[in-house]
Chains A and B, each alone.
Chain A
């Protein structure tokens, strides 16, 4: 799987490249800024682009804008945004139309090598990866007559993993249960929340996200 990187800190950029290389990825581009990344993506589209949200020259929203541009201009390229702050508003912006091939993680997550690598792979394959902080913030959000409260603790765990982009297999592995059991939990959750059951795993991320936002 080919990866392009955009991160202005040399230390982190090289660390990330080494990590991905060790994990068997093919790091095809290491960029310092958003323009360079966009150029590389245009000329030689990778499977996934990993973008720091804060890039030169202004360190404001260059990274996010590059990510959105890749999402609209190169739908086949997965985009994983890394940031030192995760914000619900930014997640909503990134996943505005679809949760396919998109990820938004706290930068700290890269040191959880196995999980990080899995997330990169998922995004590269068209799946999604949403930081657990976002998911838990949204789950904790107060809403009148909250249907979340009707979920069993197990269903809640499944919902969290589902919202952060895990596949049924991934959920099954995490919770050490069977995939069939996961499927049962998922349909029960959708029933309780009054959500129409959607086939694709990434589409249900968006559905859950929008549900939690409202």
Chain B
């Protein structure tokens, strides 16, 4: 089975990156580990670290765990998900964390650099959380927040360093001032705290906004890590004003931030777990009978109940549903369209939740599994679209003919028939006035008889063109006349609520009229029944006789015309005519 090619509508071609070179990955990993090791040893060698933070070993281990885990998890994510920027972002976060730990060194330059970036790690976490899972910040607000936070973190810290309080390695201590140092510290910490809280709020809003049933639990777990941001904010406020639980929250923050990259990794790669759903899909598609609606099966496999499937109909140049009705591909926020192609031709389009984009492997696997079934359904949709088209054109032809005949009937009625009646009346009145000339009277009488005969003929013609009584007074009234004029006793039952659409009534009238005419011509019946019942959304007509039955080609042509009328209205006409078993004509026409 050929695997269908896949093209994402909304994807920039430059984004289609391959996985990074393994040598590069190994190199970066080594650099990351070396950096963490260097930072760890610097911390142990620097007694000030221990004095300031307490248990130097623990702090150094945790900080460098952050560096190493972000770099390594980032690399792994980059390798497995080259299309996502999230891997590189994690790697960058790890290295940024490393740079901030340079404040543990005793070299003036590296110390100053490390101190200057001391407030950056929280911003990195903020950035990472907001950018999960694509690696991109999705809204201008998020971009503004992250850029602003980076600028603030560096600027406020530099400002603070000018007033001293960082020991002798600080190259930027130009104007030592204790009060100013404390003030700038508080401003910096409060600002960072506010930014972290703002970021956490954004995450919360985003979570609520896309309360998607399909989001896997691991993704939700990632969102919950936003609580880490709140804890950072708390730490900063406590550090500047001496709030409670500082130590406990510090450990919790380290733990949260430290576990985060593993959770990110797990969430990104979680698609593998969804493979079992693809296995179920394959089994489902092989079942006998195959599932009636492929959409439901795909929705289950993709875990997206909102999934819509549209099939490409090349001859119509549109996407359509399984019934062949055209479907507009949405151009909406919150919906993503994935085109499924085969041999350079569209087959179908999946309209799904954008969250599925995070799982391209699952999308690919599901499409591969559904390939043949999709093509089969596409053909079905195409067939139905063609049937619809044919039905529509037949309905239009029948309607146009009907319309024309109705127009002619009305012209006859309002024109020739009225004028002849007026003429006949004129003659009668003339006849009364001319007095005693018997020859003239007889002549006028002949003329009147001629007019009467013409009127009778015209009436027949007009009725043949269009049964005006049906349009004007409805089926029930019109059928009385047919039953009364039938050559055999007819039992007529009409159970219809009020009037029905005119084309339907006219078609039904012709079905009864033609069927009774057949009874007269062929059936040799002693009786017949006509039942007209409105059953739910359908008009059901049944004309039954007790005649000789037996199919008859002459009868066929009239019935064919009837079937055309009935089918043009989406109805069905069936005839049972067993030899010596009478004839039953049944028409079912939807009342729309």
Contact = CB atoms under 8 A, between A and B. Distances in A.
A142 B473 contact: no
Interface stretch (A14-22, A69-77, A147-155): A14-22
B477 A15 contact: no
B484 A138 contact: yes
A87 B469 contact: yes
A110 interface: yes
Q: What secondary structure prevails in chain B residues at the interface with A?
A: helix
A137 B414 contact: no
A53 B425 CA distance: 19
B414 A9 contact: yes
A142 B488 CA distance: 5
A93 B477 CA distance: 8
Given A12-B418, A60-B471, 15 more contacts: A11-B422, A16-B425, A64-B473, A84-B417, A84-B462, A85-B463, A87-B478, A87-B480, A88-B484, A93-B477, A108-B421, A108-B424, A110-B425, A111-B451, A144-B526
Chain A binding site: helix, strand, loop or mixed by DSSP? Answer: helix
B455 interface: yes
B418 A11 contact: yes
A84 B484 contact: no
B476 interface: yes
Contact of A137 (B424, B455, B484): B484
A92 interface: yes
Interface in B459-502: 459, 462-463, 468-469, 471-473, 476-481, 483-490
A89 B473 contact: yes
Contacts, number: 108
A125 interface: no
B427 interface: yes
Measured as residues with beta carbon below 8 angstroms from the partner, the interface class of chain B is 35 or more
Contact of B422 (A9, A85, A112): A9
Contacts of B418: 9, 11-12
B527 interface: yes
A11 B424 CA distance: 12
A110 B421 contact: yes
B421 A54 contact: no
B472 A111 contact: no
A206 B471 CA distance: 27
Given A19-B429, A87-B469, A111-B427, A12 B421 contact: yes
A92 B472 contact: no
Contact of B477 (A22, A84, A87, A144): A87
A144 B527 contact: yes
A207 B158 CA distance: 113
Nearest to A112: B428
A93 B480 CA distance: 11
B452 interface: yes
A18 B473 CA distance: 31
A61 interface: yes
B286 interface: no
A54 B486 contact: no
A12 B481 contact: no
Interface of A: 9, 11-12, 15-16, 18-19, 22, 53-54, 59-61, 64, 84-85, 87-90, 92-93, 107-108, 110-113, 137-138, 140-144, 213
Contacts of A64: 472-473
A176 B122 CA distance: 122
A108 B455 contact: yes
Contacts of A85: 459, 462-463, 468-469
A50 B413 CA distance: 19
Nearest to B528: A142
B410 interface: yes
Contacts of A213: 480, 484
B448 interface: yes
Interface in B237-264: none
A53 B452 CA distance: 20
A89 B417 contact: no
Nearest to A13: B422
Q: Which of B414, B421, B476, B526 has the most CB of A within 10 A?
A: B421
Contact of B489 (A16, A138, A144): A144
Given A111-B428, A137-B484, A60 B422 contact: no
B421 A111 contact: yes
A87 B475 CA distance: 12
B457 to A, nearest CB: 12
Top 7 nearest A-B pairs (CB, nearest first) are: A89-B480, A89-B477, A111-B424, A60-B472, A11-B422, A142-B489, A88-B480
B332 interface: no
A11 B485 contact: no
B469 A11 contact: no
B429 A89 contact: no
Contacts of B323: none
A147 B164 CA distance: 128
A22 B489 contact: no
B422 A12 contact: yes
A93 B481 CA distance: 12
Contact of B413 (A12, A84, A89, A108): A84
Contacts of B284: none
Contacts of A84: 413, 417, 421, 459, 462
A92 B422 contact: no
B485 A137 contact: yes
Contacts of A138: 484
Contacts of B480: 87-89, 92, 213
Interface in B401-448: 410, 413-414, 417-419, 421-422, 424-429, 432, 448
A113 B459 contact: no
Given A12-B418, A12-B421, A108-B421, A54 B413 contact: yes
Nearest to B479: A89
Contacts of A19: 425, 428-429
B270 to A, nearest CB: 67
14 contacts: A9-B418, A11-B419, A12-B418, A12-B425, A15-B425, A53-B472, A60-B472, A61-B472, A84-B462, A88-B481, A89-B476, A108-B455, A111-B448, A113-B428
Contacts of A54: 413, 468, 472
Contact of A22 (B429, B455, B459): B429
